[in-house]
Amino acid sequence: MAKPLYTPVGNLRAREDIAGANCYAAFTRSVFLQTIQRQQGEDQAPFRVALEELRRSKVSVPSWKLLTSRCAVKLAPNVVSGFQSALRIYPTRKQVSNYNYGHMVRLGSPVLQAAATHYGAGARCCGRAGDDPAPLRRLPRYADEKPVE
């Protein structure tokens, strides 16, 4: 879809856009979540406070101590291994991308395999069926990064 779902149908031309807008119009009610589910309970109160302070960029000393007490470098290896699937908080998108990229590399298997056929206007630059494939290159980590030859 090229346009938002809530675009009025009269302003749409593409079939997919019209179908999406019709689906959006079919919603008859909204659901608003108002209860915190993950950090419930009195034992989680300090963590809730720390998350709220992080959100407001005003972290108190007790919250800072709580957050830094669970850093991987301060924990035993058997404790760290329990955090394999834990939620991680990073201050920048680039740090998130670095973590995700490293995690994908550590998985050691492709995320997606796609069968490709060499045809069309630009196929000549890629060789012909049966030729040795073009040399592999590392894909970029970020949208603004160029591939490494």
Tell me the whole-structure pTM to 2 decimals.
0.36
- Angle formed by the axes of helices 45-56 and 61-68, to 10°? 110
Whether residue 1 contacts residue 17, with contact meaning beta carbons closer than 8 Å, is answered with yes
Domain layout of the chain by residue ranges: 1-31, 42-104
The model's pLDDT over 78-125, given as tens digits with 9 standing for 90+, comes to 988 888 777 777 777 788 888 888 888 888 877 666 666 666 666 666
